[in-house]
Amino acid sequence: MNNFKFCVPTDIRFGKDAIECLPEELEKYGKKVLLVYGGGSIKKTGLYDKVYSLLKDFEIYELPGIEPNPKLTSVEKGAQICKKENIDVILSVGGGSCIDASKHIACAAYYDGEPWDLVLDRSKVEKALPIAVVLTICATGSEMNSGAVISNEATHEKLEINSPLLYPALSICDPTYLYTLPKRQTAAGTADIISHVLEQYFQPNDGAFVTDRLSEGILKTCFKYGPVAMKESDNYEARSNLMWASTVALNHLLTVGKGGAWTVHPIEHELSAFYDITHGDGLAILTPAWMEYVLCDKTVDRFAMYAENVWDIAGDDKYEVAKKGIQATADFFKEMELPATLREVGIDSDKFEEMAEEAVRTSGVSTRAYFPLDKDDIVKIFEMCK
Amino acid sequence: MNNFKFCVPTDIRFGKDAIECLPEELEKYGKKVLLVYGGGSIKKTGLYDKVYSLLKDFEIYELPGIEPNPKLTSVEKGAQICKKENIDVILSVGGGSCIDASKHIACAAYYDGEPWDLVLDRSKVEKALPIAVVLTICATGSEMNSGAVISNEATHEKLEINSPLLYPALSICDPTYLYTLPKRQTAAGTADIISHVLEQYFQPNDGAFVTDRLSEGILKTCFKYGPVAMKESDNYEARSNLMWASTVALNHLLTVGKGGAWTVHPIEHELSAFYDITHGDGLAILTPAWMEYVLCDKTVDRFAMYAENVWDIAGDDKYEVAKKGIQATADFFKEMELPATLREVGIDSDKFEEMAEEAVRTSGVSTRAYFPLDKDDIVKIFEMCK
């Protein structure tokens, strides 16, 4: 078990009607609120009106229109409002993109230079506004961690900002807000949660037994309730279990004692960057192919363990057990109506080389991953997904 | 899944030599430190000297001699020192008793009345000194939660104080400090961890699937590494997994979405109160008997689930599976060299009635437990343990 630091101070309020605490909690920080949200679905669902009725004694400024991959230009706009209006607290109502933008705004509000500097040099993050979250999509775990991914359109970069100052102070997680999610978002979100856990599970350190067992618990939860949420959009048990699984999947608990670079996420980021496909779709396509590609004497024990502990697959031949676990994973994504090939999302082989090169260049996939992959390996995985 | 609040701000520094951060971290609070510790084992192991060498620039006041069941008189002494010397931060070097005393001292330091008032009326806990912990025994989870149990010798009460202000600010968990633990303490501590998880696992709410799966992960960790730590005192993998399992077992993670009163702990508290036996010994004696006693049509599914998921016991007859799981639990405690009968710890049937009555009176065991037990039930469980 590697040494680790674990300090996750976010105050989670989980459950139906948890939002009722909002005025009392926000008041701790002040009366001037920057409301950050996305494309307006919160107006259709009534959540926008609910927020205004709860915060009738507050002074609310708005930053609507946060994009699915939040852009630096939005962050700049938000930071300007915070500075000009002396905002006390940011209220982020939405999913991961909205929260990520809010995190960057929170520290940019106290920074005199260009907000992008804070992404390039984390040591410049010295102070941040408090952030409160009302979560409407479960996938990224941003509601209980300190990271955010921001896209700079001018430089074509998509990078992470991270600082202990960026943990949301408060996150309201009401599973009933997930009832109105389109099936495609439920599916893609679940694929993202699963991939977060797998990235951490398939990291080298067999001594972190306890962490692996907790990871398996989160995986079982996703595999059980993903299909239920697809079929019964308003199943509270399914939505609540998935929502909490999603938070725990990326609040550092599943990485303690372990370490190393992620694999499938950085490869998928290239698919999304070059073709603007849905992140969860890309993960569902790549994950089984990656598993198959790296299965070998060095990895088979862990893949067999995954199959046994998560999928209850038994057998004497560990390769056979491992392969059945990989097949079960692929079958699950199909059951979730997620794509299984690049063709299905309109990607041909034209940019395989270029994307593979970028994945190697911008991540630790070739150096610090569970099973390091070079450019040729990644091209081969793309080929498997055609 | 029940609604819940989860906010656990303690900064955990886990691993070998984690203590090196102590001067830098304590400095954030000030230079005047109250060092709280127990019977002096930290002098034998060198930890006491290590603390002094790290804190050579600090002004250290001492409160030694904290008892295994920390007493109000110790708390009063500590609070007096804090007030008189204007202490900035409490440094608690020890196990659960030491941390519990420190928590009570931390809030008593800011309270003008009698410290016991804070136990009787939690709303009086309005401010507390920051607490830093160096953990030397893993069992109670006090290093990452907000509760403390204090004994009032004058009134013969043993009660809990609890407040969000009492989370330790910092907890240093170095598994190598467990190498010198006597086998009996390793065994009793592991029994305590297991019981904490079982108390939460056997709470009514079958909808909190994800929480149950996480609990099973912690239980598997204890059952795997308990015997290893007994045989190989300096096995880092075993000690580190048990140490983190112990923290997670009682930092609220395993109770989210669930709820209800505990059962075996309040019954055991009476054994400890009347006969001063080791808490973990009492839990090891009572747990299998309690399981056997409450096994019925209402509970069999959950006991069978426990047997299947934690002990890998398969079978068609759920009663048989459940019974095998209970037997596995009893066998485990025996393997840990823990007592299996009350006779072994010098308890006869003289006070069965009185202890059962007290357990019902001072806890929710007869009203809000997974399987409510009245006085006669508890006497019968005692009889089973003779």
pLDDT of B64-109, one tens digit each? Answer: 999 988 999 999 999 999 999 999 999 999 999 999 999 999 999 9
- Closest approach of chain B CAs to the CA of A377, in angstroms? 34
- Whether B49 is in a domain gets the answer yes
8 Å CB contact between B212 and B202: no
Taking contacts as CB-CB distances below 8 angstroms, the residues of chain B near A257 are 14, 240, 244
Give a yes or no: residue A374 inside a domain: yes
Whether B220 shows a pLDDT value over 80: the answer reads yes
- A6 inside domain: no
Q: Is the residue at A222 inside a domain?
A: yes
Q: What's the confidence (pLDDT) of residue B80?
A: 98
Domain count, chain B: 2
| Among candidate residues B177, B200, B233, the one where a domain is terminated | B177
Judge whether residue B208 has pLDDT over 90.
Answer: yes
B169-184 pLDDT, tens per residue?
A: 999 999 999 999 999 9
- Facing A244 at nearest CB: one of B15, B221, B256: B256
Do B102 and B214 sit in the same domain of this protein?
Answer: no
ipTM above 0.95, yes or no: yes
Same-domain status, B307 and B216: yes
Q: Are A149 and A223 found together in one domain?
A: no
**Position B51 in a domain:** yes
Contact between chains at B1 and A257 (C-beta distance less than 8 A): no
Residues A93 and A241 in one domain: no
| Residue B264 sits in the same domain as residue B132 | no
Report if residue B5 sits inside a domain: no
Q: Has residue A69 got a pLDDT over 90?
A: no
Query: Domain check: are A314 and A359 in the same one?
Result: yes
Please answer whether residues A339 and A281 qualify as being in contact, where contact means their C-beta atoms are separated by less than 8 angstroms. Answer: yes
pLDDT of residue A265 exceeding 80, the answer is yes
Domain boundary, last residue among A115, A150, A177:
A177
* Residue B155 belongs to domain with CATH number: 3.40.50.1970
- DSSP states of B360-380: HHHSSTTTTBSS---HHHHHH
Tell me, yes or no, whether A238 and A342 share the same domain. Answer: yes
Same domain, A312 and A348: yes
Q: Please calculate the CA angle B291-B297-B301 and round it to the nearest 5 degrees.
A: 70
Considering the domain architecture, whether residues B185 and B172 belong to the same structural domain is answered as: no
pLDDT in tens, B27-41: 999 999 999 999 889
Helices (H), ranges, B71-208 = 72-85, 96-108, 115-120, 183-201
State which of A177, A209, A237 marks the end of a domain: A177
**To 5 degrees, how large is the angle CA B92–CA B97–CA B101?**
60
State how far the alpha carbon of B372 is from the alpha carbons of B131, B354, B368, in Å. 37, 18, 6
Is residue A239 within 8 A of residue A180, CB to CB? The reply is no
Q: Which residues of A touch B (CB under 8 A)?
A: 1-18, 175, 207-211, 213-214, 216-218, 220-221, 224-225, 236-237, 240-241, 244-245, 248, 253, 256-257
Say if residue A256 is in the same domain as residue A273. Answer: yes
pLDDT of residue A158: 84
From chain B, the residues in CB contact with A216 under 8 A are: 213, 217
Confidence of residue A276 (pLDDT cuts 50, 70, 90): confident
Contact A113, A79 (CB under 8 A): no
Which tokens sit at A368?
A: 């610090």
CATH number of the domain enclosing B239: 1.20.1090.10
B66 and B108 in a common domain: yes
Which chain B residues contact residue A255 at CB under 8 A?
A: none
A136 with A195, same domain: the answer is no
Q: A356: which residues sit within 8 A by CB, 6+ positions away?
A: A267, A270, A375, A376, A378, A379, A382
Residue range(s) defining the domain that contains residue B156: 11-177
Is A5 within a domain? no
Q: What's the whole-number mean pLDDT along residues B203-219?
A: 94
